[in-house]
Amino acid sequence: MRPLNIFPIFLLILVSACHSQKPPVIETGSVTPMPNEWIDKDTHHKVVKLTSQMDGNSLSFYFHNNPFIGTDMVFYNSSKQNPDEVTDMKKEETYNSNIKNKQLYSININTKEINQLTFCSSPMNGEIVSEKTKTVFYQINDSIFSLQPATKKVKLVYVFPEDFKASITTVNADGTLLAGSRATEEENKILKNNPNKSDFFNLIYEAKLPKTLFTINIQTGQLNKIFTDNAWLNHVQFSSVNPNLLMFCHEGPWHKVDRVWTIDVNTKQVTQIHHRTIDQEIWGHEWFGKSGKTIWFDLQQPRGELFFVGGYNVASGKEIKYSLERNEWSVHYNSNSTETLFAGDGGDPGAVAKAPDGQWIYLFTPDGDRFKSERLVNMKHHNYKLEPNVHFTPDDKWIIFRANFEGQSNIYAVEIEKSSN
């Protein structure tokens, strides 16, 4: 009789055992470093560190800037190749976006494969992705570039003239126009001399300096100045569906401004979104839903007292609102692909809501005229000077956020479905 070869059986058992291992149940941010995957012990949702392969600080996009091309998510990283240029994200109030080794990368949400997209020696900025044309746009000094992630092909799109130095912030739904706002030299000096938001925020608002909205035709390079106002025009973003509809805000202390506006880039028609109904009412941190039918925003009636997420129907002007508890208020909210689920990134006790227990990543489900909430990640070890900025993945199964509870900034995904672990 031939002897039984047990090695393949042993190997199969070993592999099966490894694959059956479940992520540890642990308090988020309680150890450094955290494992690559874990179950948040307070919420029982699985959290995955998407940038576990990366050195340095990784930053996902601002909440209203779409980062996805299919299942690939674009993000920034500043590697530790130049250690002096990498900040401690738990201590710094702001992230230096001009460090030389900041580059764009992409990660496949399913396979976790990471690809470096840019290899620029000069400081770069821009969080602009066109889903339609599968193109990434970024800016170095006065020059705008486009990049095709599939081929790594880079093309010079536009160079701002000497008399109109500006920055792009958004691309329209069909990938034909870029847009942004142009600040005066006086505003740029205020920013340079007062780098912290707590210093420059009121100074720029009170200055009432002229600012100009503009578009750039990606194919022809034509610059079109579409609107100028003696106000701080900010948060410029195109509709997710209508290529001619541009949204912007009057930045400044929210209780002093009529915050949200749209403009048709062809007709130049300007429309105010939402009107104040009581003293100290504020609204902002606005975004277009995926359908393009609704503009959503943080609504407080009055400021710091009653909290809602408001929705403005672009076609009819009709509004809806969903109420939240104080602890559920979030610095930023976002919506899934069908606008049937919402997410929030919470806030610390120093924020406008003064929430005693608000440091969580939240999932919200509309229930009548209120939001029913579920806590997904405990963020008590995160310093909210870095905003988490939540995004739903295209399949609506995960919520992406960034955090610094490991000291440096990483990008994480929390699974919406609760773990059985």
Question: How do residues 34-43 score in pLDDT, each as one tens digit?
Answer: 999 999 999 9
Tell me the mean pLDDT in the region 228-247.
97
Q: How sure is the predictor about 10, in pLDDT bands with cuts at 50, 70 and 90?
A: very low
Task: Determine contact, residues 243/177, Cβ cutoff 8 Å.
Answer: yes
Residue 5: predicted pLDDT: 52
Long-range contacts (CB closer than 8 Å, 24 or more residues apart) made by 301-309: 301/277, 302/278, 303/254, 303/255, 303/352, 304/352, 304/353, 304/354, 307/353, 309/333, 309/342, 309/364, 309/371
Task: Determine contact, residues 270/279, Cβ cutoff 8 Å.
Answer: no
Tell me: pLDDT of 150 over 50: yes
pLDDT tens sequence across 262-271: 999 999 999 9
Hey, what are 413's tokens?
Answer: 């995904």
Contacting residues for 52 by C-beta, under 8 A, at least 6 apart: 36, 410
Residue 87: predicted pLDDT: 41
Tell me: pLDDT of 241 over 70: yes
Beta strands 342-344 and 333-335, pairing class:
antiparallel
The CATH number that domain 25-159+273-418 falls under is: 2.130.10.10
DSSP one-letter code for 355:
-
Whole-number percent of the chain with pLDDT over 90: 86
C-alpha to C-alpha distance for 230 and 257, rounded to whole angstroms: 13
Reported residue count of the chain is 421
Amino acid letter, residue 50: L
Residue 68 or residue 96, greater confidence: 68
Residue 8: predicted pLDDT: 44
Whole-number percent of the chain with pLDDT over 70: 90
Question: CA separation (Å) from 59 to 232, 382, 391, 404?
Answer: 26, 14, 13, 10
C-alpha to C-alpha distance for 226 and 369, rounded to whole angstroms: 38
Tell me the mean pLDDT in the region 215-239.
97
**Domain segments of the chain as ranges:** 25-159+273-418, 160-272
Residue 95: predicted pLDDT: 35
Residue 420: predicted pLDDT: 80
Hey, what are 392's tokens?
Answer: 């739903």
Residue 361's nearest CA partner among 282, 415, 285 is 415
Task: Determine contact, residues 411/75, Cβ cutoff 8 Å.
Answer: yes
**Among the residues of 179-313, which ranges form H helices?**
185-193, 197-207
Amino acid letter, residue 157: V
Task: Determine contact, residues 373/361, Cβ cutoff 8 Å.
Answer: no
The residues with which 146 forms a beta bridge, in sequence order, are: 137, 155
Contacting residues for 180 by C-beta, under 8 A, at least 6 apart: 166, 167, 168, 169, 170, 213, 214, 236
C-alpha to C-alpha distance for 396 and 402, rounded to whole angstroms: 17
Q: How sure is the predictor about 405, in pLDDT bands with cuts at 50, 70 and 90?
A: very high
Residue 279: predicted pLDDT: 97
Task: Determine contact, residues 106/41, Cβ cutoff 8 Å.
Answer: no
DSSP one-letter code for 84:
G
C-alpha to C-alpha distance for 173 and 399, rounded to whole angstroms: 23
Average pLDDT score over the chain? 91
Whether omega for the bond prior to residue 33 falls within 30 degrees of 0, making it cis, is yes
Tell me the mean pLDDT in the region 78-82.
64
Tell me: pLDDT of 196 over 70: yes
pLDDT tens sequence across 363-384: 999 999 999 999 999 999 999 9
pLDDT tens sequence across 20-35: 589 999 999 999 999 9
C-alpha to C-alpha distance for 28 and 34, rounded to whole angstroms: 8
Tell me: pLDDT of 96 over 80: no
Task: Determine contact, residues 283/298, Cβ cutoff 8 Å.
Answer: yes
- Name the strands in the sheet holding 223-229, side by side, starting at the edge strand that comes first in the sequence: 167-171, 177-182, 211-217, 223-229
Tell me the mean pLDDT in the region 123-148.
97
Task: Determine contact, residues 169/183, Cβ cutoff 8 Å.
Answer: no
Tell me: pLDDT of 100 over 80: no
Least confident of 37-46, 194-203, 311-320: 194-203
Tell me: pLDDT of 303 over 80: yes
